[in-house]
């Protein structure tokens, strides 16, 4: 029997990635699309061949022909919509970052455990062949002991008040600046590569973009339980773009820049190896595929909500540190 899906939220990510991935996954059927705008829900229903469009969330979650829900709404809705779906007996993938606060993430995890249902966060970059290769290189000791991970994710945001994505720049809805948005993906990778965060310090400021309500630059430094250090700079105020992840070890360096494109470089002993490891055409498909097969096979997904929580611990620690001027144990 196929996994029958509903998607909550009809933004770009649903239209361009999530709905196509569900339609492509062989064990899945797309049943329903929810939006607060009936017109938008119907537009995407027609575009992706779902059975129905819905603008009543309670009605959607009460349906007995839905097994799993993908929550693709703005961040401030992640926790209440995820918990409602779990309490209605549905498995859930929730978009990143998992929620506005760590306490909300914990409530989501508790709801999944109480219901005996699957829950994960959509950190799909863990499924990139490049990410798998980095993890394999680290596990094989290719760079010796990992010492420091350097992350830079910078651009100049072009989101205006009339843009449907403007919620990302509203603190109560998106939670922060580039760190909470695109930076969360890279922090999640750092946790997968180097272990869970232990202590975090950071700064979050608005230096240039007076049109923003959120910080336009955020810098984070974390000590991981492996002992390695992670430092991340995320900004929506820079003229140039950057998307770098570098792990420096006692015997070599792994370099991925830009992270989302080839190549991956391994520097060791004065030599450099280059790996061409393109991601799937639809980056969401491996995530959807693993989760659907987990439901069918009666197993846990490869990555769980507890994994997705770790990036939120780092980001919350950064903001608390910036407010208090102190390092934060997370």
Per-residue pLDDT band at 161 (split at 50, 70, 90): confident
**Tokens matching residue 24:** 């492509």
Regarding the domain with residue range 125-280+311-329, which homologous superfamily does it belong to in the CATH classification?
Dihydrodipicolinate Reductase; domain 2 (3.30.360.10)
- The whole-angstrom distance between residue 117's C-alpha and the CA centroid of its chain comes to 20
Structure pTM? Answer: 0.96
- Which residues are CB-neighbours of 185 under 8 A, at least 6 positions away? 96, 123, 125, 311
Q: Tell me if 181 sits within 8 A of 157, measured CB to CB.
A: no
Distance CA 189, CA 196 (A): 11
Block residue for tokens 């309490």: 87
CATH of domain 3-122+283-301: 3.40.50.720
Q: What is the pLDDT of residue 11?
A: 94
Q: Tell me if 91 sits within 8 A of 69, measured CB to CB.
A: yes
Distance CA 104, CA 229 (A): 26
**Mean pLDDT to the nearest integer, 126-149:** 98
**Mean pLDDT to the nearest integer, 84-108:** 98
Q: What residues does each domain of the chain span?
A: 3-122+283-301, 125-280+311-329
**Mean pLDDT to the nearest integer, 5-20:** 97
pLDDT 10s digits, 46-88: 999 999 999 999 999 999 999 999 999 999 999 999 999 999 9
Per-residue pLDDT band at 109 (split at 50, 70, 90): very high
């Amino acid at each position: 029997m196929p996994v029958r899906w509903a998607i909550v939220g009809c933004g770009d990510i649903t239209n361009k990635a999530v709905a196509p991935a569900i339609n492509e996954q062989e064990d899945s059927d797309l049943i329903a699309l929810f939006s607060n705008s009936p017109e938008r829900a119907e537009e995407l229903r027609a575009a992706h061949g779902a059975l129905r469009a819905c603008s009543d969330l309670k009605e959607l979650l009460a349906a007995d022909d839905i097994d799993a829900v993908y929550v693709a709404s703005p961040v401030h809705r992640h926790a209440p919509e995820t918990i409602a779906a779990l309490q209605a007996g549905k498995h859930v993938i929730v978009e990143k970052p998992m929620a506005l606060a760590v306490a909300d993430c914990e409530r989501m995890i508790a709801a999944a455990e109480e219901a005996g249902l699957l829950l994960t966060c959509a950190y799909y970059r863990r499924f990139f062949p490049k990410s798998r290769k980095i993890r394999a290189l680290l596990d094989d000791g290719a760079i010796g002991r990992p010492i420091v991970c350097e992350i830079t994710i910078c651009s100049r945001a072009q989101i205006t008040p009339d843009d449907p994505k403007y919620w990302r720049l509203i603190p109560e809805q998106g939670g922060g600046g580039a760190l909470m948005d695109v930076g969360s993906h890279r922090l999640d990778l750092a946790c997968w590569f180097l272990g869970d965060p232990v202590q975090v310090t950071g700064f979050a400021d608005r230096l240039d973009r007076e049109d923003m309500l959120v910080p336009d630059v955020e810098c984070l430094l974390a000590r991981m339980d492996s002992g390695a250090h992670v430092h991340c700079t995320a900004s929506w105020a820079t003229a140039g773009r950057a998307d770098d992840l570098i792990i420096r070890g006692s015997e070599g360096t792994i370099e991925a820049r830009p992270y989302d494109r080839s190549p991956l470089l391994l520097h060791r002993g004065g030599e450099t190896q280059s790996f061409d490891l393109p991601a799937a055409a639809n980056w969401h498909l491996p995530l959807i595929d693993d989760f659907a097969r987990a439901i069918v096979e009666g197993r846990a997904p490869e990555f769980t909500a507890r994994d997705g929580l770790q990036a939120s611990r780092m980001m919350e620690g950064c903001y608390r540190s910036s407010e208090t001027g102190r390092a934060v144990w997370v």
